[in-house]
Structure 1
Amino acid sequence: MDGSIESRVDHEVDDWLNWLPRWRPGTHRGRARLCRTCFGSPIIGAAGLTTDVPHAVQHALSMRIKRVIDADVDEYTEAHLPLLRREIHLNEQRKAAASYQPTEGLDPAYTGLDLDPPATPDAPYLFTFADLARPEEPSAAPVAPPPLSVEEKAAIRAELKLADEHAALVGRKVCAELSRHQARMRRAVSDFVEPWVLALLADLDTALDSPLWPRGI
């Protein structure tokens, strides 16, 4: 795969399409809040998956496409924004010295989602991923870098603005490329997602039925 936006989007869409037949509806819990990544996302709109598509299916695609945008912005930052690049590297060093991060390195279908289901009173307690993210013993904090000067802060803000503008530009290119795949993505949703949704609705209808209710209403 070459490094163009088109080829990267094609690759991630193909990866999502290969994953879709393995998708199964989640039944262990519902979402307590809207997903900021997917709700109102231009990526989901460009893909034609705004309505009648489960959130998990949307999220798996949006995180894959977000990875394309992030990678391009990272390359731009490395090549053109030295102060911002330095701050990012320092932040990565601080994170490396911190505790285990269970939300990092996940498959795109699970990136950005809460990993711990809500606790139930009668369930045995072992551990949660949130517990694993907190060190049992405080570790030595990395040496803090010297404070930035006023000029350096202004320069970093200028570079951040350039990075944001580049991310918006890449995002528009990604959405334009993504719209070319609408037909086959909608077809895949119809083939692999809608049967599961219809089966869930049928099960719900059966569960709500009662032998005491009058028939034929």
Structure 2
Amino acid sequence: MDGSIEARVSHEVDNWLRWLPRWRPGTHRGRSRLCRTCFGSPVIVAAGLATDVPHAVQHALAMRVKLVIDAAVDEYTELNLPLLSREIRLNEERKAAASYHPTEGLDPEYKGLDLDPPTATDAPYLFTFAELARPDQAAAAASVPPPLTTEEKAAIRTELKLADEHAALIGSRVCAELFRHRDRMRQAVTEFVEPWVLALLADLDTALDSPIWPRSI
């Protein structure tokens, strides 16, 4: 695989296609809010997965593609935006002060999801992953950097704008490449996902069926 954006996207699509046969419908409680990564995502639209596709299937692709975009922007930032690169590095050092990192080491299809399911009003959790992930207060205080000068803030805002513009450019290239793969992705969804969805709908129809309900003739 070469290092181009198109090659990286193609590689992640291949990884997603290898993962897809292992997908199974979730049996836990549904999400309490829309996923900001997937809802309205141009990546999902370009891939042809915006409608009639379970969120977990969309999310697995979106997070793999996000890795490609993030890596490209990180490379650009490291090479061209020194102040922003320094701030990112300092922020990573502050995050490293946390004693527990529940989001690290996850497969792409699980990244970006809520750490904890919503609590029931009558059954609160004794602890949550989000609470455990909070940094130690003493370590966090020790790692707070000195305040930025007015000039540094202005320079970082300029670099942030450049990083955003580069991310938009990379995103456009990513979507164009995904569009080239959409037929085989839709075919894979038809083969591996739709049978599970149809089976769930059949089970739901059976569960809702009742001998006292009127039947259509």
Is TM (by shorter chain) over 0.5?
yes
Show CA shifts across 1:142-165 (max 9, x none): 343222111111111111110000
Q: Distance in 2 between matches of 1:147 and 1:116?
A: 34
SS at match of 1:189: helix
Aligned partners of 2:60 and 2:109 also within 8 Å: yes
1:103 matched to which residue of 2?
A: 103
Number of equivalences = 216
Aligned partners of 1:94 and 1:142 also within 8 Å: no
1:175 aligns with 2:171: no
Q: Distance in 2 between matches of 1:158 and 1:62?
A: 28
Larger deviation: 56-65 or 27-36? 27-36
TM-score in terms of structure 2 length: 0.92
1:163 matched to which residue of 2?
A: 163
SS at match of 2:109: coil
Q: Distance in 2 between matches of 1:78 and 1:11?
A: 24
Structure 1 residue 100: Cα displacement: 1.4
One-letter amino acid matched to 1:166: H
Structure 1 residue 106: Cα displacement: 1.4
1:83 matched to which residue of 2?
A: 83
Mapping for residues 28-177 of structure 1, pairs under 5 Å: 28-120=28-120, 127-134=127-134, 138-140=137-139, 141-177=141-177
Structure 1 residue 126: Cα displacement: 6.0
1:199 matched to which residue of 2?
A: 199
One-letter amino acid matched to 1:178: L
SS at match of 1:109: helix
Specify whether residues 145 and 124 from structure 1 end up closer, same or farther in structure 2 by C-alpha distance, changes over 3 A only: closer
Show CA shifts across 1:103-159 (max 9, x none): 233111111111322345787966432242246x74433343222111111111111
One-letter amino acid matched to 2:6: E
Aligned partners of 1:97 and 1:142 also within 8 Å: no
One-letter amino acid matched to 2:202: A
Aligned partners of 2:98 and 2:133 also within 8 Å: no
Q: Distance in 2 between matches of 1:78 and 1:175?
A: 24
Specify whether residues 146 and 128 from structure 1 end up closer, same or farther in structure 2 by C-alpha distance, changes over 3 A only: closer
One-letter amino acid matched to 1:96: A
Specify whether residues 98 and 41 from structure 1 end up closer, same or farther in structure 2 by C-alpha distance, changes over 3 A only: same
Structure 1 residue 99: Cα displacement: 3.3
One-letter amino acid matched to 2:95: K
Segments of 5+ residues of structure 1 without an aligned counterpart are none
